[in-house]
Amino acid sequence: MKNLNSVHLNGLRALEAVGRLGSLQAAADELGVTIGAVSQQVIKAEAQLGRPVFERTPKGMAVTEAGIAVLARLGEGFQALSAAVTAAQHRDDHILTISVAPVLAARWLVHRLDRFAKRHPDIRLRIDATTQLVNPATSDVDIGIRVGSGQWPGVKSELLLAQEIFPVVTPQIAATLKEPADLLSVPAVIDGHAMFTWDVWLREVGLSGKCMEERHIFNDASLCLDAAMAGQGVMLAWQTLAAYALQQKCLVDPFGIRAKTGFGHYFITAESVREAKKVTAFKAWIREEMEESMRLFR
């Protein structure tokens, strides 16, 4: 790393910012300096590197062919530095930050948080409800829970629960059903963001090629569940979404036939980082809760 002694860090920051943001003005705003200062830093850094990174054109700064590779490496380097600063500033052994999809937080996790607090009174939970995959290595998130195939770049994934899907309806609608084919005449409440379709379950019960009668389409699974509980039709649900409603008898699984989607609930943690005790404690507690929930569910 001795070659870093020949180039000022501020100059490298200026190069990276201009390359990423596309203009001197935007870079100046982010770095909190004047356009002139950024321009001088860029010129100085290019001289120290021995080659131009940008070409000055009437339309602004254009990246040179040689600059493309330089800026790509600088971007990776400053992302790593940013992650290190975030880790130093925000990690707290007594606060556990969890990134989880809003539907899982609302329909399954929130009912159980008091039990975690009683077992681990020294750990405070901070729930970040979002559908975006967050990398714990580059954020203040300690652990995430996501549904998918488990193949996400840049993170470590660990299976928590294989996803199974099944229809849910009100007890009143269930009373009118005798066999799976009867569902074809029941309006379906559709989750427009689901990673699967009714074909998966229909194939499981020997109804391949058949179509459900769609009634409403929502962009949120929690709203779909509410619509099903209101008697507006049948929803294709999964374990963590419907467990509480089934236990409370608001909804029923009329046939007890479930189909695997190939997806699952996964823990998401940082790669190549020693697991913190608070993360280990949370994972162990979640596994116990999930096992108990699925036992009551079945």
Residue-wise pLDDT tens digits, 230-275: 999 999 999 999 999 998 999 999 999 999 999 999 999 998 788 8
The more confidently predicted of residues 74 and 3 is: 74
Summary mean pLDDT of the chain: 91
Average pLDDT over residues 179-183: 97
pLDDT at 139: 82
pLDDT at 87: 64
pLDDT at 234: 97
Query: For residues 166 and 147, what is the distance between their CA atoms, to the nearest angstrom?
Result: 16
pLDDT at 90: 57
Order of all β-strands in the sheet with 124-129? 124-129, 95-100, 143-148, 259-270, 155-168, 235-238
Average pLDDT over residues 101-123: 94
Q: Can you give the C-alpha Rg of the chain in angstroms? A: 26
The more confidently predicted of residues 249 and 135 is: 249
SS (H, E, C) 145-207: EEEECCCCCCEEEEEEEEEEEEEEECHHHHCCCCCHHHHHHCEEEEECCCCCCHHHHHHHCCC
Domains with residue ranges and CATH for the chain? 2-90 (1.10.10.10), 92-298 (3.40.190.290)
Report percent pLDDT > 70 for the chain: 95
With CA atoms as reference, report the closest residue to 140 among 111, 192, 97, 103: 97
Specify burial of residue 78 (Cβ count, 10 A radius: 0-12, 13-18, 19+).
Answer: middle
The more confidently predicted of residues 40 and 138 is: 40
pLDDT per position as a tens digit, 42-72: 999 999 999 899 998 888 889 999 899 989 9
Query: For residues 4 and 235, what is the distance between their CA atoms, to the nearest angstrom?
Result: 59
Average pLDDT over residues 171-190: 96
